[in-house]
């Protein structure tokens, strides 16, 4: 039995997938570099899922002017590592929302205003470890708290309550109130949310707020 990973097996057969190569090459600004990358390293990422990320990435890149693509970054090892990680992660998920987020992270990082601080790869790794349910909970919490301004002197618990914490379960279709704490604990381990701690009247824990890391992900990548 081969000891190769799925991504290693896929790039070995990449040149055989003519439709996939054509889709990769159609991605504005970076298609040629991706084709050279995959054609040179070879691998077997599940073709349908890789094709989906390629199409999604093309849609994202079409929103970015060619002059805004950092051509020097496309020649860097950082770009190669980030691209391989994104396509490998996409090959392991059936969820369109995760694929869309991977594409948005790649688009941002290849632009001339990319962060270049290892955040992109860290976020892809983080998202790869989360389930779709957990991402939906994170999105619902972001919709509540996101860019909301805090009142003067307002603590975390007051802020979360004012933003509608008690309604969070209702804003996560398909996720029961019983399952919500598990999803939130997973998001906390991922560094995207944190539990409110402190001595507050009648507070027994279990309320969460978004972290700076989550704000950075959403503002610089997903909603940029």
76-85: which pairs have CB atoms within 8 A and are 24 or more residues apart? 78/116, 79/33, 79/109, 79/110, 80/37, 81/121, 82/106, 82/109, 82/120, 82/121, 82/124, 83/34, 83/37, 84/7, 84/37, 84/41, 85/121, 85/124, 85/125
Domain 132-222, architecture per CATH: Orthogonal Bundle (1.10)
Instruction: Please state, in angstroms and rounded to a whole number, the distance separating the CA atoms of residues 103 and 50.
Output: 11
pLDDT value for 49: 83
Q: Where in the chain is the domain with CATH 1.10.10.10?
A: 132-222
Residues in the chain with pLDDT < 70? 1-16, 37, 39-46
Instruction: Please state, in angstroms and rounded to a whole number, the distance separating the CA atoms of residues 90 and 59.
Output: 16
pLDDT value for 4: 59
Listed in sequence order, the DSSP H helices in the chain are: 6-11, 18-25, 31-41, 47-61, 71-74, 77-91, 96-110, 119-128, 132-145, 156-162, 180-189, 212-217
């Amino acid at each position: 039995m081969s000891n190769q990973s799925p991504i290693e097996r896929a790039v070995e057969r990449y040149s055989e997938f003519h439709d996939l190569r054509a889709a990769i090459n159609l991605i504005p600004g970076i298609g040629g570099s991706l084709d050279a990358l995959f054609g040179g390293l070879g691998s077997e990422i599940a073709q349908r899922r890789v094709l989906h990320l390629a199409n999604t990435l093309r849609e994202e890149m079409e929103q970015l002017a060619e002059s805004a693509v950092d051509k020097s970054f496309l020649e860097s090892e950082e770009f190669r590592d980030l691209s391989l990680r994104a396509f490998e992660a996409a090959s392991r998920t059936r969820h369109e929302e995760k694929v869309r987020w991977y594409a948005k992270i790649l688009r941002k990082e290849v632009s001339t205003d990319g962060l270049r601080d290892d955040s992109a790869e860290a976020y892809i790794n983080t998202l790869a470890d989360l389930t779709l349910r957990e991402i939906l909970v994170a999105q619902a919490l972001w919709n509540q708290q996101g860019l909301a301004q805090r009142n003067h002197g307002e603590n975390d618990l007051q802020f979360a309550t004012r933003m509608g914490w008690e309604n969070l379960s209702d804003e996560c279709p398909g996720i029961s109130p019983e399952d919500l704490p598990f999803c939130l604990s997973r998001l906390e381990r991922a560094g995207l949310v944190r539990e409110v701690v402190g001595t507050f009247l009648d507070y027994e824990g279990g309320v969460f707020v978004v972290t700076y890391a989550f704000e950075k992900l959403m503002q610089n990548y997903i909603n940029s």
